[in-house]
Chains A and B, each alone.
Chain A
């Protein structure tokens, strides 16, 4: 393609540049709140609510300390007779007449989130890819109706089914358990997984499996060794979508978890209630909460991008 020629398919350099500027602007606008949250996590309590808002400030670990610890209020006399502070968080607490009495629930809640989100994602993808393969390749009676039925499970707002699920979960003992949450998120995500993956598997010509079949492999081996490697893109894209849903889900988590299996989303707002509006701690929790998805997506972004354009553009 020569640069001076007017091409019908290739955008001109100018329009490409304008598009680039728009994309950068959009990215900046969406990044500002995230950057603000990140910064707030390192502010002191007064800095976080200062007006006009402070862009330049002295970084403080207070937010992260409050996120990871629980503190109790004590009289100044009691604090005065304590031995010297054992750490930076203890020192922060004492400046506001408090002492650190133990670790907060943030770490267990975060671990719950990790287990539930990744567990349900893995389960959704495994179930999704096998179901999608079956729908794509085999004669399934009432295939279209079944596919629609699977999709229809997503049409109802979660809150509409939350009460029945709560009652059922209480009866079968799944309430406030990690397994219960994994199954619930899987049930929601599997429809997305089946539909997305069916599209990807439909694009893989059957000849590949048939070649493997005549080459002496069983259907299962053909699926594992020939279909799956080619569906990697779709699997990764699906996994990211499932993970984002399960990781961010709030409504079910509030209703169905309270202690043992509580995930991070319902926990983070609770921080607000503990000893005044502790915005730095909330911001610190939110920042940490973003990390797993960020890392997962960045690691797999190459596949994700290819996945999104896969259906539109044949290689």
Chain B
């Protein structure tokens, strides 16, 4: 097991920069998730770590070894593909044994290792089956078996749950995380599904257009988004944005939106008079008839214990609030909005970047 360090990694396909000056490291034993919309460069980054793609510039270190321009076969890593890529002309046992056979391992040792991997993944009963008859979940397990049998320095997984149906995805999420906790293997996991990332990752790197927008724990990224992109990408429904014009100076504890003062964590970074955006997570909104910030109820979506209420403010901004399911709301009725002050985010509306507040320094509680 080893640490992976990525330094100023850059990859261009012709004129298109898929990954731009990316620098991060994956701690030894970390479950690291590269998250982002399709085309953001996450898979390209993963393929460069694997050696399936060569970077235009930058360095990749695996452990203390510079592997930037080494062949994939010379890097001690395992890769799980989205479509599993099980060799169709071999049975399950031969598939799992395949990486070991390339090392010229003794037949007896191969046997032992394959059995062990199969036991961990509970697929011993499938070993002599052909891979073509397997369910997608079992194929997934065989693909994982082929990865763990090597005991590599790191696991790279490219949307491994993307081909599974929703129900089974949740099961595999749990299995993958349990497997990681057991093997304590450095894992880089690529997905576009925020729920998967939130559920499994120790660290998430959220990518957009070839750039890492934010790197942090799932809680960091959810509670303290570094940009409007992150705030919008994470959360279901995502953060609502209230744009307003104004300026802030360090020490401010409220902003004025639509002629209403709204309390927020103490501002630590000022801005000139510009377009600002207040970011509110749905669960931090409360409906209160006497609150001064007015909105009209557009729609309510019942979710069981909660409901998602779509609201239109007086200035026409659409917001979503997550409130208790038993509260009765009717489309068309007017209501007031109250926000939990300790949890609000403030963004520069032009650059999309978050302005630093007490929230980022970890001394705010809402």
Contact = CB atoms under 8 A, between A and B. Distances in A.
A226 B81 CA distance: 16
A194 B85 CA distance: 25
A213 interface: yes
B99 A215 contact: yes
A216 B83 CA distance: 19
Contact of B85 (A205, A216, A218, A229): A205
Given A229-B89, A230-B88, A230-B89, A214 B83 contact: no
B50 interface: yes
Q: Would you call the interface of chain A mostly helix, strand, loop, or mixed? A: helix
Contacts of B82: 207
A214 B75 CA distance: 8
B66 to A, nearest CB: 18
A210 B85 CA distance: 9
Contacts of B79: 210-211, 214
A210 B77 CA distance: 12
Contact of B73 (A207, A208, A218, A226): A218
B13 to A, nearest CB: 11
A216 B73 contact: yes
B72 interface: yes
Interface in A188-239: 205, 207-208, 210-218, 221, 226, 229-230
A208 B87 contact: yes
Nearest to A208: B85
B102 A215 contact: yes
Interface of B: 50-52, 71-73, 75, 77-79, 81-83, 85, 87-89, 98-99, 102-103, 146, 150
B89 A214 contact: no
A216 B102 contact: yes
A218 B83 CA distance: 21
B99 A207 contact: no
Contact of A211 (B75, B77, B81, B103): B81
A243 B244 CA distance: 76
Contacts of A205: 83, 85
B81 A216 contact: no
Interface in A222-275: 226, 229-230
Given A214-B78, A221-B102, 4 more contacts: A210-B50, A211-B81, A214-B50, A214-B75
Contact of A213 (B71, B87, B103, B146): B71
Contacts of A214: 50-52, 72-73, 75, 77-79
A210 B72 contact: yes
Contacts of B87: 208, 211-212, 226
Contacts of A230: 88-89
Contact-residue size bin, chain A (C-beta under 8 Å from the other chain): 10 to 19
Contacts of B81: 207, 210-211
**10 nearest A-B residue pairs (beta carbon):** A216-B102, A207-B85, A215-B99, A211-B85, A213-B72, A214-B79, A229-B89, A207-B81, A216-B73, A214-B72
A241 to B, nearest CB: 23
A236 to B, nearest CB: 14
Contacts of B73: 213-218
A285 B65 CA distance: 70
Nearest to B85: A207
Contacts of B51: 213-214
7 contacts: A207-B81, A207-B82, A207-B83, A210-B81, A211-B79, A229-B89, A230-B88
Q: Considering residues A205, A210, A214, A217, which has the most beta carbons from chain B within 10 angstroms of its beta carbon?
A: A214
Contacts of B102: 215-217, 221
Contacts of A211: 79, 81, 85, 87, 146
A215 B98 contact: yes
A226 B89 CA distance: 8
Contacts of A207: 81-83, 85
Interface in A97-150: none
B54 to A, nearest CB: 12
A226 B87 CA distance: 7
A216 B153 CA distance: 13
Nearest to A213: B72
Contacts of A210: 50, 52, 72, 79, 81, 85
Interface string A273-297: 0000000000000000000000000
B339 to A, nearest CB: 47
A231 to B, nearest CB: 11
A58 to B, nearest CB: 54
Contacts of A212: 87, 98
A203 to B, nearest CB: 12
B283 to A, nearest CB: 40
A234 to B, nearest CB: 14
Contacts of B89: 229-230
Nearest to B50: A214
Contacts of A226: 87
A232 to B, nearest CB: 8
A314 B83 CA distance: 15
A216 B103 contact: yes
A119 B75 CA distance: 41
A250 to B, nearest CB: 39
B244 to A, nearest CB: 49
B153 to A, nearest CB: 12
Interface in A162-211: 205, 207-208, 210-211
A221 B98 CA distance: 12
A216 B52 contact: no
Nearest to B76: A216
B137 to A, nearest CB: 18
A204 B87 CA distance: 11
A63 to B, nearest CB: 47
Contacts of A221: 102
A213 to B, nearest CB: 4
